[in-house]
Amino acid sequence: MQRRTEESRTAVIASLLADPTRSVVLWTLSDGRALPAGELARLARVSPATMSEHLSKLVRASLIRVERSGRHRYYRIGAPAVVRVLEALATVAPIAPRSDRGITEDASRSAIRLARTCYDHLAGYAGVKITDALLEAGYMVETGSGYDVTAAGEQWFAALGIGVSDARRRANEKRRQFARACLDWSERRHHIAGELGERLCERLLELAWFERRHGTRALRVTALGRRSLKRHLGVTLL
Amino acid sequence: MQRRTEESRTAVIASLLADPTRSVVLWTLSDGRALPAGELARLARVSPATMSEHLSKLVRASLIRVERSGRHRYYRIGAPAVVRVLEALATVAPIAPRSDRGITEDASRSAIRLARTCYDHLAGYAGVKITDALLEAGYMVETGSGYDVTAAGEQWFAALGIGVSDARRRANEKRRQFARACLDWSERRHHIAGELGERLCERLLELAWFERRHGTRALRVTALGRRSLKRHLGVTLL
DNA sequence: TAAATGATTCGGTCGCGGCCGAAACGATCG
DNA sequence: CGATCGTTTCGGCCGCGACCGAATCATTTA
């Protein structure tokens, strides 16, 4: 392989992501699934021949890996860094079309968009919806730099087993923000992060409203989680 | 603008980064500078006409902004998120060609590669060189999860006004890693992060070995910094 | 106002790459 | 062993976009 400048090396990677068909493939696999070539062809609406070429390019660049099983070949994301690129690209909104505050209602296509961890807190459709509901109910209010919990909110969190004042104290000690507003790449909306976001996420996993999925940051909503979100916050997760 | 799927929207952005000429432009501007169209054409070795087309595409997508001044038009990066995409792309090494542990010796081209902050610690060529030197001198050793400071190292840090044992204690309190190894996108090498990395960075800024630059994460090495790095660590920053 | 300089627009060429159908390949199954 | 199914390879078509020179526009300088 000949010497390349940093610039053209990133251009090569970018050109692999620049094709709509390949982009669909990567986004489809971005939640950690492994799918056979034929199914990917069907999803992207191209012939098996075309898909095969795309897949071989992606494999050659190590953006995806292939695993043979019988007469199928299963393709999966090659490295976590690949998903980070996708997310970074999604964050560069081609001028965010925020006409109104609607959430994308077809978020269900990919598990990683429905619910995932973002560092230590909850993100994706679920993270945004929960944050919205907390604001809507008056349990939290927006501040300049994030959120703050109201007296009513403190009770709500306590009912879930989360000590707000304790979290506030710890955040202060750690010189960490108490309840930060983190921008979501898939929803282009804010969700709750910081010390409180971490505790909320931890607790919802403890309560088994969500479950971790193997080898991915995507979370599964349990049946209990769906019911409880409905009851506690009036949130329906499609 | 018609409805687009998330996939194809990221593909559009990626296609803008996929062209080598545009890629050079974005990398050149990635340290926060603003350059006129003609100079960018010269740097990328294309005609002014060609460059103009590229620039207008990038502006239309808000990846860069333009500012008129006299008969020049100065172009600069449009949003911090754009640089994050570049860095994410650079991190997806087309199989890192790490034949040996050499550092890129032409890192000086872009200020942001020479020295920058990565969250709260020092990164780029400078960050990696300093980390290497600390290991080389036996002031730190590599551990499974990062680094640890030796007794000799503790003295070295103390001479600089950094209390290692205090940092260790604080890290423990904050449940934060003491000295993490963070992967550098430009050098593809590790550098020191975590609590100790933060304190080191803070202190070097206090001592005026480095200076923050306006509106960018790039740092400038001062003349004092160059001399001191040479004396304290035998490090020369080209 | 004319000349010079930076930047953009226009018109036209050319090559790369995505696409498909057909054929080949490889594994499984009857 | 032939039939079938999933996948890849091959050959050829076609359109998009990167490129440049020439012309145009805009701003500064003489």
The most confident of the ranges B67-81, B148-162, B206-220 is: B148-162
Q: Which nucleotides on strand D sit less than 7 A from a protein beta carbon?
A: 5-11, 17-23, 26-28
pTM of the model: 0.70
B66, closest nucleotide (Cα–C1'): C7
pLDDT of the residue at B101? 44
Q: Is the pLDDT of residue B56 over 50?
A: yes
For the stretch B189-206, pLDDT in tens is: 788 988 999 999 999 999
Residue of chain A with shortest Cα separation from B186: A6
Give the CA-trace dihedral at A96, A100, A102, A107, to 10 degrees.
-20
Q: DSSP alpha helices (H): ranges in chain B?
A: 6-18, 20-29, 37-44, 48-60, 80-91, 111-114, 124-136, 151-159, 164-173, 194-206, 223-233
Residues 12-41 of B with CB under 7 A from strand C: 36-39
pLDDT of the residue at A237? 85
- E-strand ranges in A110-160 read 116-118, 121-123, 140-142, 147-149
Residues 35-54 of A with CB under 7 A from strand C: 45-47, 49-50, 53-54
- Asked if A125 and A106 touch (Cβ cutoff 8 Å), the reply is no
Q: Could you give the ipTM of this predicted complex?
A: 0.70
Q: Does the distance separating the beta carbons of B18 and A14 come in below 8 Å? A: yes
Residue type, B119: Y
**A156-159 CB contacts, 8 Å cutoff, 24+ apart:** A156/A232, A157/A200, A159/A232
pLDDT of the residue at A107? 42
For the stretch B92-140, pLDDT in tens is: 865 433 334 444 544 445 778 889 888 788 988 899 899 989 998 999 9
Chain A residues lying within 8 Å of B60, measured CB to CB: none
The structural domains of chain A, with segments of one domain joined by +, span 6-81, 96-233
- Centroid of chain to Cα B232: 23
Measured between alpha carbons, how far apart are the two ends of chain A, in Å? 49
Q: Which of A122-126, A226-230, B175-179, B186-190 has the lowest mean pLDDT?
A: B186-190
Q: Does the distance separating the beta carbons of B82 and A91 come in below 8 Å? A: no
pLDDT of the residue at A88? 92
Q: Does the distance separating the beta carbons of A6 and B27 come in below 8 Å? A: yes
pLDDT of the residue at A202? 92
Q: Does the distance separating the beta carbons of A90 and B88 come in below 8 Å? A: no
The most confident of the ranges A63-77, A118-132, B15-29, B78-92 is: B15-29
- CATH 3.40.50.1100 assigned to domain A6-81? The reply is no
Cα–Cα distances in Å, from A25 out to A54, A219, B15? Answer: 9, 20, 16
Nearest to B89 among A1, A5, A14 (CB): A14
The candidate with the shortest Cα–Cα distance to B214, out of B69, B39, B71, B31, is: B31
